[in-house]
Amino acid sequence: MTRPDHLDADRLSAPGGQPVLLVDAAGWRRPRAPIQAVVIGVDRDGVLPAVVVDDFDLLLTVADRAPRPWVSIRKPADADRLADAVRTNPLAATIAAQILRLTSKLPFADALAVESLAYSSLLGGSEFARWRAHTDTHQPLSVPAEPLRIERDGDRITLTLDDSANRNAMSAAMRDALYEALANALDDPGRPMVRLQGAGKCFSTGGALAEFGTARDLAEAHAVRTLHSCARALDALAARAEVRLHGACVGSGIEVAAAAHRRIAGADAWFQLPEVTMGLIPGAGGTVTVARAIGRHRTLWMLLSARRVGAAQALDWGLVHAIEPAA
Q: What is the dihedral of CA 107, 113, 116, 118, to 10 degrees?
A: -80
Q: Which helix (H) or strand (E) holds 160?
A: strand 156-161
Distance between CA atoms of 280 and 268, rounded to whole angstroms?
Answer: 27
For residue 204, give the 3-state DSSP assignment: strand
pTM of the predicted structure, to 2 decimals: 0.94
The single-letter DSSP state of residue 209 is: G
The single-letter DSSP state of residue 319 is: S
Give the pLDDT of residue 7. 73
Give the pLDDT of residue 326. 60
Cα angle 61, 62, 66 (rounded to 5 degrees) comes to 60
Give the pLDDT of residue 2. 53
Q: What are the beta bridge partners of residue 149?
A: 160
Please report, as a single letter, which amino acid is at residue 115: E
Single out the residue of 5, 83, 87 nearest to residue 40, CA to CA.
Answer: 83
Give the pLDDT of residue 210. 81
Distance between CA atoms of 16 and 149, rounded to whole angstroms?
Answer: 49
Three-state helix/strand/coil letters over 82-135 = HHHHHHHCHHHHHHHHHHHHHHCCCCHHHHHHHHHHHHHHHHCCHHHHHHHHCC
Half-sphere exposure of 224 (CA within 13 A, CB side): 11
Per-residue pLDDT of the chain (327 residues; tens, 9 = 90+): 556 667 778 899 999 999 999 999 998 988 888 899 999 999 999 999 999 999 999 999 999 999 999 999 999 899 999 999 999 999 999 999 999 999 999 999 999 999 999 999 999 999 999 999 988 766 677 888 899 999 999 999 999 999 999 999 999 999 999 999 999 999 999 999 999 999 999 999 999 888 877 778 999 999 999 999 999 999 999 999 999 999 999 999 999 999 999 999 999 999 999 999 999 999 999 999 999 999 999 999 999 999 999 999 999 999 999 999 765
- Residue ranges and CATH numbers for the domains of the chain are 8-88 (no CATH), 101-324 (3.90.226.10)
Distance between CA atoms of 210 and 222, rounded to whole angstroms?
Answer: 19
Give the pLDDT of residue 4. 65
Other Cβ atoms closer than 10 A to 325: 7
Give the pLDDT of residue 144. 87
